[in-house]
Amino acid sequence: MKQLDIKLFRDFWHLRGHAVATAVVIACGIAGFVAMSSIDQSLTYSRDVYYTKYRFADVFSSLKRAPRGVESRLSELPGVAEVETRVIMEATLQVEGMTEPVIGRLVSLPEAGRRPKLNNIFLRRGRWPEPGRSEEVILHEAFADAHGFSQGDSIEAVLNGETLEFKVVGVGLSPEFVYQIRPGDTWPDDRRYGVVWMEREAVAGAFRLTDSFNDVLIRLEPSAVVQEVLTAVDNLLEPYGGFGAVTREDQMSHRYLTEELKSLRASARIIPTIFLLVAAFLLNVVLNRLVMTQREQIGTLKALGVSIWAIGGHYFKLTLLITLLGLAAGLLLGGWMGKELNGMYQEFFRFPALMYRWHWRLVISSGVISVLAGLIGTGWGVWRVMRLQPAMALKPAPPPTFKPTWLERAGGYGLLSPMGRMVARSVERRPGRTAFATLGIAMAIGIQVIGSYGYDVMDYLVQVQFGIGQREDMLVTFREPVSTRALDGIRWLEGVQRVEPRRVVPVTLQSGHIRLQTAITGLDPDSRLYRLMDRQGRFRTLPESGLMVSTYLAERLRIRQGDRVWVKPLEGHRRWLQLRVAALLDDMIGLSVYAPIAEMGPMMDEAPVVTSAALKVDPRHVTAVQHALVDQPMVASVGLQRASLAAFERMAAEMQRSFSVILGLFAAAIAVGVVYNSCRIALSERSRELASLRVLGFTQNEISALLFGELALQLFLAIPLGIIIGYLFTLATSEAFASDLYRFPVMLRLRSYGQAVVVVLLAGIASALWVRRGLRRLDLIGVLKTRD
Amino acid sequence: MADSREPVLQARDLTRVFLMGEVEVHALRGIDLDIAQGAFIVLLGPSGSGKSTLLNILGGLDIPTSGQVLYRGADLSGAGERVRTLYRREHVGFVFQFYNLIPSLTARENVALVADLVDDPMAPEEALDMVGMASRLDHFPSQLSGGEQQRVAIARAVVKRPDLMLCDEPTGALDCKTGRIVLEALQRVNRELGTTTAVITHNAVIGEMADTVITLGAGRVASIHEPTERMSPSRMNW
């Protein structure tokens, strides 16, 4: 059917405007799918290879202190394949150029130059420390990069009050720190927190843990029953102050990575679905119009004996051509976007090599879903072409029939001008088309809204959580719980304006068979530096007695306000207690449990003690106060809240902005696609009417009103609908992305919605004006001589 | 043309050349014509004689390659799109072969749509009554026969009290019986309102109802004939 194929390409050329507008929408959907899926695949692949090659452990537990002899008892537990014990402590590092102290997480290396059996180190640069050289260290790459450290540099460190000079001999990575974040922190901060690997004897000696360990890594036998191993490990480590064994799922770095993959997968499903449905609608409209104008050609071809399959195939091929154009552009665009975004992920997640790769199956699935969209859009139209009887097809289509609209019948006749009635009646004659076009434009607004949501929410989180909620300038963490009297020493430091005590106790919570590890934070009910807030930014007060639990945590434990929950402190008496959940807090970060600090003593059977203190400090004295505190042996670390925020904010904002820009462009593509196609079709359907009106003396502007009346109605309806869709999208996103780590509030920020509406309207109006050029080319003379 | 009445339209040495691919087609080769106020003119001629081209130029839809068109002394031949749109809007009523009604508007609304364009229109109902369509005001075009649609189109042309009615094959798509009714409507408008009317047709019989019959051939005026007696359309047969 060669001649028919020539017609195919000519038709395609004739429809090039429609074809491009539709293909762009398909391309956006496919690009989103390819980019998100390929990053997901790349991260997953890089992770799996890394975990296997560098022997990432299956079970993790930290403890107060156990003698080395316990190690062999751990290896004998059923299900345990390999055990590695370590000493991990935090130290203060003096980094040149940093006024505030930097926290180093010191991780011991096995003795005698042995490589770690589990959580092995990938050495990016340099060499391993030589046995016996206690000053030689390997730095985590993220930390080294943040400060520009390389081999030969030295760093001064304070280990338990003792000053040591570290010498950097290598820069490396480990599967346990793909995401380098300090336990208990919400954001990573590579400038103020870094992992340092060093000889075991050096760390252990400084912290009086020689011949002991305080951290365990376990690799499981393939046949191991995970829960049984966890229980056995907990029982064994209990006398040594075990904080409870966890699996990879609760390992910090792994959890962040998993959450990210989860959200990528969600996006990879949602984005293409929206775009391809819009594309299906566009294809449907374009094909129907084409068939309408080629009705007689179809009749002629059939009359000449061309088979219905050849004719159906002809129109399907046209759809396929548009779809394939979009698919090809989408694959290229998606590949490029994926590669760029993958590079940005390297900032967040550190792998030996974050290789960008995509599986050929991604091409197949992209092809399948785009052709599916084409079929959904045009299957019915093609079928109708095939069914059309040649005799019918050769006759002109019956004239369109109209009737007064419900608005006129309901007494609103006088409300509309004749032009208004023309628009209203044609809308009512084909309500589906108006509805879909409206929905398409509304989707574009919704996508724009969701694009800025990520950015807004980050901004909000930072402003609310740290601007209004947590207002301390400094958080001093003590090595061991100290008596409240110890705070007096801090209170008298020059520049310290307020000191608020905190008592944090790591605990295991249990309800039914669900068990979770978290910590109870004892707070002063009148705290001014730490104000409890819910997701919507409302202040909440701590109950007089009992616990205040994150709503998200309560949902995970399936408990409600007023219930009692089993709590086992992981220090002190370590007995199971039953505590009342006095209030729930719908908060944004972490799995938090709060209690009045006065209740912590009785709960722990101890005199009032504190584990950390929040400080408000005169800005002029911040540096002096820091240094004074760092030098005290009881102080484990001094953190500056604001400083740590800025770093993460920059990184997250950059990422969010990229997503926001991409989604913005995608949304504009939908708006352009829908508006261009519907205006072009309105122009083609109404060209006779429009030309007749021009002959009768109507000006170009007057008939533009008729051409764009329907569009104006669609845009008018799409704005409120788009706002609702945007809101629902944010609702769905905030639900879908809620995790142990963050829960984002559903936000309706006026500026973002306004911006979304304006961008979509501009895109729409621009494409409408582009189509309007066609009015100048109307054939006024031809129209007088032809039958419709 | 010997007519005491003042000419509404004058054509002076009109030519129109179309470029069809690489071939020049001379549609008009020098037409001189005066159309008097209130006259009923029939333009006759075979296909390709240039009668539609002439009508388009007289109606401000097209401009001549050379020569002049004067509407009450004002030159239209060099006028821009805006001036010609204004001319059509205020002075010309068109009737087309295929009616060109707006399918989504009723008879009354089709007429009202155009009435809104001018300052002092007739009532749409009155215009429709003149063409005998008073009983079908609220019917949509798809509910009307061809003849009825054409009468609505005439009402639409008449409603703005134009100076000039230009009708391009108004009966071309109609049978003889319906055609007669349409021509009667045109004649009535011409008589009662004094509207200058020009009708294009290739049907010579229609010439018998005209004041002046102009026959075109190969882009030139072949003959001008003024029948002594104007025949009523009801007596025509074709």
B131-166: pLDDT as tens digits: 999 999 999 999 999 999 999 999 999 999 999 999
Residue B4 has pLDDT above 60, yes or no: no
Report yes or no: B97 at the A interface, CB cutoff 8 Å: yes
Asked if A784's CB is within 8 angstroms of B96's CB, the reply is yes
pLDDT of residue A1: 54
Asked if B104's CB is within 8 angstroms of A400's CB, the reply is yes
Same domain, A122 and A230: yes
Token pair of A252 as six digits: 């910090």
| B168 contact residues in A (CB cutoff 8 A) | 784-785
Does residue A67 form part of some domain?
yes
CA distance A555 to A550: 9
Distance from CA of A398 to the nearest CA of B (A): 9
Report yes or no: B173 at the A interface, CB cutoff 8 Å: yes
Does residue A385 form part of some domain?
no
Number of CB atoms found within 10 A of residue A535's CB? 22
Contact B210, B227 (CB under 8 A): yes
Report yes or no: B156 at the A interface, CB cutoff 8 Å: yes
Report yes or no: A777 at the B interface, CB cutoff 8 Å: no
Q: If we measure between CA atoms, which residue out of A545, A629, A585, A562 comes closest to residue A465? A: A585
Q: Which residue of A has its CA nearest to B96?
A: A784
Token pair of B130 as six digits: 């003149």
Q: Quick one: how far is CA A546 from the chain centroid?
A: 34
pLDDT of residue A432: 86
Does residue A387 form part of some domain?
no
Distance from CA of A386 to the nearest CA of B (A): 28
Residue A580, helix vs strand vs coil: strand
Contact A257, A56 (CB under 8 A): no
Query: Which positions ≥6 away from A634 have C-beta within 8 Å?
Result: A478, A479, A480, A482, A486
CB pairs under 8 A between A and B: 89
Same domain, A591 and A656: no
**E strand map for chain B:** 7-20, 23-36, 40-44, 66-71, 74-75, 92-95, 164-168, 196-201, 212-217, 220-225
Express each pLDDT in A464-486 by its tens digit: 766 677 788 888 888 788 988 88
The residue extents of the domains of chain B are: 7-96+165-227
Same domain, A603 and A625: yes
pLDDT of residue A211: 92
Query: Testing the interface with A: which of B56, B86, B100 to mutate, by most A Cβ within 10 A?
Result: B100
CATH topology of domain B7-96+165-227: Rossmann fold (3.40.50)
Task: Look up residue A622 and give its DSSP letter.
Answer: H
Same domain, A447 and A557: no
pLDDT of residue A644: 59
Q: Which residue among B97, B141, B142 places its CB closest to the CB of A785?
A: B97
Residue B15 has pLDDT above 70, yes or no: yes
Report yes or no: A688 at the B interface, CB cutoff 8 Å: yes
Does residue A25 form part of some domain?
no
Does residue A18 form part of some domain?
no
Number of CB atoms found within 10 A of residue A561's CB? 15
pLDDT of residue B17: 93
Q: Which residue among B59, B88, B140 places its CB closest to the CB of A402?
A: B140
Asked if A688's CB is within 8 angstroms of B100's CB, the reply is yes
Enumerate residue ranges in chain A where pLDDT < 70.
Answer: 1, 99-100, 184, 186, 396, 465-467, 641-648, 787-788
Domain count, chain A: 3
CA distance B93 to B109: 17
Distance from CA of A404 to the nearest CA of B (A): 9
Residue A350 burial by Cβ neighbours in a 10 Å radius (0-12, 13-18, 19+): buried
CA distance A381 to A387: 10
Q: How does the average pLDDT of chain B come out, rounded?
A: 90
* DSSP H stretches of helix in A70-225: 70-75, 141-147, 200-206
CA distance A60 to B19: 87
- H or E element in which residue B2 lies: none
Query: Which residue, of A255, A279, A307, is where some domain finishes?
Result: A255
Q: Which residue among B59, B90, B112 places its CB closest to the CB of A418?
A: B112
Same domain, A200 and A132: yes
Token pair of A447 as six digits: 């996508």
Distance from CA of B112 to the nearest CA of A (A): 8
Same domain, A676 and A635: no
Residue B21 has pLDDT above 90, yes or no: no
Residue B2 has pLDDT above 50, yes or no: no
Same domain, A678 and A629: no
Same domain, A465 and A557: no
Q: If we measure between CA atoms, which residue out of A572, A580, A567, A560 comes closest to residue A515? A: A567
ipTM of the complex: 0.88
Contact A591, A516 (CB under 8 A): yes
Same domain, A72 and A211: yes
Distance from CA of A304 to the nearest CA of B (A): 29
Token pair of B138 as six digits: 């609220």
Report yes or no: A785 at the B interface, CB cutoff 8 Å: yes
Residue A411 burial by Cβ neighbours in a 10 Å radius (0-12, 13-18, 19+): exposed
Report yes or no: A418 at the B interface, CB cutoff 8 Å: yes
| B88 contact residues in A (CB cutoff 8 A) | 695-697
Token pair of A44 as six digits: 């997953």
CA distance B152 to A338: 63
% of chain A residues with pLDDT over 90: 34
* DSSP H stretches of helix in B105-145: 107-115, 124-130
The three-point CA angle A477-A480-A486 to 5° equals: 75
Contact B140, B99 (CB under 8 A): no
CA distance A249 to A259: 10
CA distance B174 to B236: 14
Distance from CA of B109 to the nearest CA of A (A): 6
Q: Which domain holds residue A121?
A: 53-255
Q: Tell me the CA distances in angstroms from B75 to A189, B36, B83, B238, one per residue in order.
A: 81, 17, 11, 39
Report yes or no: B116 at the A interface, CB cutoff 8 Å: yes
Q: Which residue among B61, B104, B114 places its CB closest to the CB of A780?
A: B61
Query: Which residue, of A639, A672, A698, is where some domain finishes?
Result: A639
Query: Which residue, of A216, A234, A255, is where some domain finishes?
Result: A255
- Whose tokens are 């590890």? That residue is A517
Q: A112: left (phi > 0), else alpha (psi -120 to 50), else beta? A: left
Q: Which residue of A has its CA nearest to B107?
A: A418
